[in-house]
């Protein structure tokens, strides 16, 4: 709904890039009243993010965007070259279908994603969209947050009150500035020239889905085949390089000349960006929260910037829903930062390390006739920080798998964005009456592990039942029906009687 007929909402979301739009969609699924605010009147025409992993694709599935997968592109091999273009090392970027039920890696076109989610916001009767509006003032009170907005096109101003506000407004966050947050710097500030092009011809040297980086030169160069047919080149700047000189079109034409003539493509973007590796402190002040790049930034080399913001949205939306509906105390909102900050900081540190290594790398090609080393890329799956999960369970606080059931459905399609119990058939049959009542009060879905894939998953965890949170992280596991009864009771206590962590 775009009509500005309300000045009282449950949650105001400031900034509607990938994180803010995902959060808006999830809050709508929670049945809340939302104000979605962004200075851009229409989705930005060029992508900022280009990569998503299997966990993010699983989140897209939850958002109702699984059908977009057919528009995404898979990745091939990632190669490292020395200054003479001799291969140094390579690894397969895509590992195929993973335990998450999707391919390990995709390249996508961000404007399409944002267009679909803006459409969902428009269609939701309890979402009021302020696209083309700036937030110019925030005032917190005991009743929530008062927000003053100004429309860019007309100068019209509007005020609204929100019980909660989430700032998803990017690296230069207005909300973070208003909160007076500090930032922990992990020492990886870099500038890169980002050149996105639409080629008019096909070149064998750029064919396929492979990517490369050439190191050991003054300005290391990265190439990515993004969402077909788009291509991206990234050139790392040194500290004394002039931004304006790198952004000039003549420089772009010269940079791409080994592969394409200047008349063989259209430049969609040629801009220098500064990347930082920083984490805000704190992420919350009263009823105001930070998410996405407003809370944490990282260099792009790990491909986890957008993914981390989506994880933020998946984590906080169900908690806000429970608090707004009066099902949980406000203290559970403290677990948003305690869980997410340690988790995503692992990605920031690794991305910072990679950025610094690329700048300093002096690759050495193998001896003539020797095989190019092939390495296996490890998938980073950190455990959540302290929060709503069974801390004495080695599997709790970690991302769950998503096997298919005998019906062919993926587990999340059955569970929806809510708690779920996945258990062996005989364990489900032994659920106590109190446990069944608690699960009904939680609106939790009970799913029988009736396929070989789901049974194998339980067996790999040496358990007969698991409890999955709405954000797909495990609350805990149970080896017997009696342990499942106790685990569900523990979850109920965590959600309804939680003290501050």
Q: Considering the chain, what percentage of its residues have pLDDT values greater than 90?
A: 82
* 22 and 114 both lie in a single domain: yes
Check whether residue 239 and residue 260 sit in a common domain.
yes
Nearest to 303 by CA among 379, 401, 207: 379
Is the same domain home to 339 and 231?
no
- The closest alpha carbon to 342, from 296, 373, 402, 375, belongs to 296
CA distance 307 to 42: 22
Asked if 313 and 451 sit in the same domain, the reply is: no
Residue carrying the six token digits 């390089």: 241
Up-side HSE of residue 231: CA atoms within 13 Å toward CB? Answer: 25
Q: What is the mean pLDDT of residues 115-134?
A: 97
pLDDT of 501: 42
Instruction: Tell me the CATH number at 329.
Output: 3.50.50.60
Is the predicted pLDDT of residue 264 greater than 60, yes or no?
A: yes
Q: Is the pLDDT of residue 393 over 70?
A: yes
Q: What is the mean pLDDT of residues 155-171?
A: 97
CB 150 within 8 A of CB 134: yes
Residue matched to tokens 């096909």: 202
Give 351-380 pLDDT, tens digit per residue.
888 888 888 877 676 777 677 776 666 788
Residues whose CB falls within 8 Å of the CB of residue 263, separated by 6 or more in sequence, listed in order: none
Lowest-confidence pick of 4-8, 23-27, 111-115, 452-456:
4-8
Q: What pLDDT score does 500 carry?
A: 44
pLDDT > 70: percent of the chain: 96
Q: Are residues 17 and 127 in the same domain?
A: yes
Rounded to an integer, the average pLDDT of 39-46 is: 91
Most confident of 2-6, 24-28, 372-376: 24-28
CATH number at residue 429: 3.40.30.120
Q: State the pLDDT at residue 374.
A: 67
Task: Give the angle subtended at the CA of 495 by the CAs of 491 and 501, to the nearest 5°.
Answer: 100
Q: Look at the block and give the residue holding tokens 């799956």.
A: 381
pLDDT in tens, 424-452: 999 999 999 999 999 999 999 999 999 99
Q: Is residue 382 part of a domain?
A: no
Does one domain contain both 483 and 425?
yes
Residue 30 domain flag: yes
Identify the domain boundary among 226, 255, 275: 275
| 80 — pLDDT class (breaks 50, 70, 90) | confident
Residue 218 included in any domain: yes
Burial pattern 85-122, b for ≥16 Cβ within 10 A else e, equals eebbbbebbbeeebbbbbbbbbbbbbbbbbebbbebbe
Q: In this structure, are 224 and 125 located in the same domain?
A: no
Query: Which distant-in-sequence residues (6+ apart) come within 8 Å of 12 by Cβ?
Result: 34, 35, 37, 145, 147, 160, 162, 164, 165, 166
Spatial distance between the Cα atoms of 151 and 338, rounded to a whole number of angstroms: 36
Pairing of strands 87-92, 105-107: unpaired
Report pLDDT digits (tens) over 400-425: 999 999 999 999 999 999 999 999 99
Same domain, 131 and 194: no
| Domain membership flag for residue 71 | no
Both 143 and 18 in a single domain?
yes
Q: Is residue 139 part of a domain?
A: yes
Residue 104 lies in a domain: no
* DSSP line for 352-364: HHHHHHHHH----
**Contact by Cβ (8 Å): 181, 290:** yes
Q: Lowest-pLDDT range, 101-110, 307-316, 355-364?
A: 355-364
If you average pLDDT over residues 251-255, what whole number do you get? 98
The lowest-confidence range among 71-80, 249-258, 325-334, 462-471 is 71-80
Domains identified in the chain, total number = 3
- Is 421 part of any domain? yes
Q: Please determine, for residue 1, whether its predicted confidence score (pLDDT) is greater than 70.
A: no
Domain that holds residue 426: 411-496
The answer to whether 411 and 402 have CB atoms below 8 angstroms apart is yes
Kindly report the pTM of this predicted structure. Answer: 0.94
Q: What is the CA radius of gyration of the chain?
A: 24
| Domain's final residue, options 242, 260, 275 | 275
Give pLDDT tens digits for 218-237.
999 999 999 999 999 999 99
H/E stretch holding 81 reads strand 77-81
Supply the pLDDT for residue 147.
Answer: 97
Choose the final residue of a domain: 326, 354, 382. Answer: 354
CA distance 242 to 250: 14
Mean pLDDT of 19-41: 98
Structural domain includes residue 84? no
Instruction: Verify that 270 and 291 share a domain, yes or no.
Output: no
Mean pLDDT of the chain: 93
Q: Would you place residue 110 in the very low, low, confident or very high pLDDT band (cuts 50, 70, 90)? A: very high
Do 199 and 250 fall into the same domain? yes
280 near 290, Cβ under 8 Å? yes
- Considering the domain architecture, whether residues 309 and 436 belong to the same structural domain is answered as no
295 close to 280: Cβ distance less than 8 angstroms: yes
Looking up residue 256, the CATH number of its domain turns out to be 3.30.70.2450
Closest CA to 165 of 138, 198, 125, 197: 138
For residues 186-196, give the mean pLDDT: 94
């Amino acid at each position: 709904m775009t009509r500005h007929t309300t000045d009282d909402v449950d949650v105001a979301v400031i900034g509607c890039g990938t994180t803010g739009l995902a959060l808006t969609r999830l809050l709508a699924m929670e049945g809340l009243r939302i104000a979605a605010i962004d200075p851009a009147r229409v989705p930005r025409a060029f992508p900022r993010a280009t990569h998503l992993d299997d966990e993010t694709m699983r989140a897209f599935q939850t958002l109702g965007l699984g059908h977009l997968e057919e528009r995404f592109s898979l990745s091939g091999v990632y190669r490292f070259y020395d200054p003479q273009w001799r291969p140094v090392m390579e690894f397969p970027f895509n590992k195929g279908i993973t335990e998450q039920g999707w391919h390990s890696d995709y390249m996508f076109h961000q404007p399409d994603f944002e267009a679909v989610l803006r459409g969902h916001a428009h269609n939701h009767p309890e979402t009021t969209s302020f696209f083309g509006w700036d937030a110019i003032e925030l005032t917190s009170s005991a009743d929530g947050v008062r927000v003053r907005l100004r429309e860019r096109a007309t100068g019209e101003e509007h005020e609204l009150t929100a019980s909660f506000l989430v700032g998803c407004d990017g690296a230069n966050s207005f909300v973070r500035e208003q909160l007076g947050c500090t930032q922990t710097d992990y020492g990886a500030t870099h500038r890169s020239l980002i050149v996105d092009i639409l080629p008019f011809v096909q070149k064998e040297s750029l064919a396929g889905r492979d990517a490369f980086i050439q190191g050991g030169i003054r300005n290391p160069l990265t190439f990515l085949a993004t969402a077909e047919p788009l291509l991206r080149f990234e050139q790392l700047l040194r500290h004394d390089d002039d931004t304006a000189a790198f952004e000039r079109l003549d420089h772009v034409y010269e940079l791409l000349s080994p592969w394409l003539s200047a008349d063989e493509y259209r430049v969609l973007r040629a801009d220098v960006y500064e990347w930082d590796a920083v984490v805000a402190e704190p992420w919350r002040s009263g009823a105001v929260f930070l998410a996405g790049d407003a809370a944490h930034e990282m260099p792009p080399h790990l491909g986890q910037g957008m993914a981390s913001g989506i994880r933020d949205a998946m984590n906080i939306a169900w908690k806000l829903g429970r608090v707004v509906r009066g099902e949980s105390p406000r203290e559970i909102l403290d677990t948003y930062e305690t869980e997410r900050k340690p988790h995503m900081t692992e990605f920031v540190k690794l991305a910072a390390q990679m950025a610094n290594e690329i700048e300093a790398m002096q690759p050495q090609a193998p001896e003539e006739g020797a095989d190019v080393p092939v390495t296996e890329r490890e998938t980073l799956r950190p455990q959540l920080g302290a929060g709503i999960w069974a801390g004495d369970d080695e599997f709790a606080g970690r991302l769950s798998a998503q096997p298919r059931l005998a019906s062919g459905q993926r587990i999340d399609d059955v569970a929806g964005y809510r708690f779920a119990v996945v258990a062996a058939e005989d364990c489900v049959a032994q659920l106590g009456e109190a446990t069944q009542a608690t699960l009904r009060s939680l609106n939790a879905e009970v799913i029988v592990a009736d396929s070989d894939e789901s049974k194998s998953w339980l067996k790999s965890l040496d358990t007969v039942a698991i409890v999955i949170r709405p954000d797909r992280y495990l609350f805990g596991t149970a080896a017997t029906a009696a342990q499942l009864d106790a685990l569900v009771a523990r979850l109920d206590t965590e959600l309804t009687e939680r003290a501050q962590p």
